[in-house]
Amino acid sequence: MAGPFGTTSTTDDVLSGKDLSGKRVLVTGVSAGLGVETARALAAHGGQVVGAARDLAKAERATAAVRAQAASGGGLELVELDLASLESVRACADALLADGRPFDVVIANAGVMRTPFGHTADGFETQFGTNHLGHFVLVNRIASLIAPSGRLVNVSSSGHRYSDVDLDDPNFERTPYDPSVAYGRSKTANILFAVEFDRRHRARGVRATALHPGGILTELGRHLQPGELEATVERINAQLAAEDRPPFQFKTIPQGAATSVWAAFVAPAEEVGGRYCEDCQVSQVTDGLISPVSPGVRPYALDPEHAKALWAKSEEMVGERF
């Protein structure tokens, strides 16, 4: 049963009664926030979680509750992964391939948001390089490990509405840098990657989807300027009041991670494959002026030809064909 779940559903609501014994899941970004909660919920329902993190010492501390709450048969192991370094990404993929155990689901959860202008170890703009290209290489390198009837779940954001991808200037070499636009590009790329991965792998039963977890207070917001978050919420609430709607409320972390585990193990694969989800539902395509907290996905983020073009550009940038 895929529902009824919604905005306030938590990970444990979504997985209630679900036995994940024998299921193996790779979750990136398990040193804080949604990644830790996603891993906890899966392990608490019997899943074997492989958690990837750049800082293994931090991840060890952050995931103590994951191990403490793991059900019989459930558990967590950690692997090192720095998505801002393709050397690290390839080493992580090589280790997983050498291990050889398959995954039922890969949840590409890690990411950065609205960073100052900078570059990854390989010279890519920080947000596009970390949020998209790092996961693009990792997932494609280990695609053979995703079991038939398995899934890829890309954690994107409503931030994709800030911008479509720019395949002509992905590293802001000619475009003035704007952290919100850069974040939007990377989050649109997360969705387009899922669309094309789904097209390429559905024949063997592997489906891919992308999602918006909701507005949540996590470490992701560490690059926001003082007062910026409060000012944004104030603007949103003024707009909502004008529309005679209740004020915006942040989700808790268990509510924010709910759509990830819903898309991974609860929603029917044919419903979420190649789609964008939020609040434990498949989102509608919308192209009008909408509130920043209204549901919906921009049409450019689901365009199949656009997704193919991004795939080709991504291969060119990382120097690998998949």
CATH number at residue 80: 3.40.50.720
Find the Cα–Cα–Cα–Cα dihedral 249, 298, 263, 110, rounded to 10°.
-70
Residue 156 among the catalytic residues: yes
pLDDT of residue 238: 78
The CA angle 312-314-319, to the nearest 5 degrees, is 95
pLDDT of residue 246: 77
The structure tokens listed for 274 are 């190649």
- Look up the domain containing 33 and give its range: 11-318
Instruction: Summarize the chain as % helix, strand, coil (round to 5).
Output: 45, 15, 40
Annotated active-site residue in 31, 162, 183, 283: 183
Residue 18 among the catalytic residues: no
- Do the domain assignments include residue 2? no
Residue 32 · residue 41 · CB < 8 Å: no
Cis previous bond, 4, omega within 30:
yes
- Do the domain assignments include residue 221? yes
- Do the domain assignments include residue 3? no
What b/e readout covers 5-44, taking b as 16+ CB neighbours within 10 angstroms?
Answer: beeebbbbbbbeebebeebbbbbbbbbbbbbbbbbbbbbb
How far, in Å, CA of 141 to CA of 132, rounded? 14
- Do the domain assignments include residue 127? yes
Collect the ranges in the chain with pLDDT lower than 70.
1-3, 217-225, 228-229, 237, 288-293
Annotated active-site residue in 156, 157, 163, 283: 156
- Do the domain assignments include residue 4? no
pLDDT of residue 217: 67
Count up the domains in the chain and report the number.
1
pLDDT of residue 1: 41
* CA dihedral sign, ordered 224, 226, 229, 231: negative
Q: Quick one: how far is CA 169 from the chain centroid?
A: 23
Q: Order of strands, edge to edge, in the sheet holding 103-108?
A: 75-80, 48-53, 24-28, 103-108, 146-155, 207-212, 276-278, 281-282
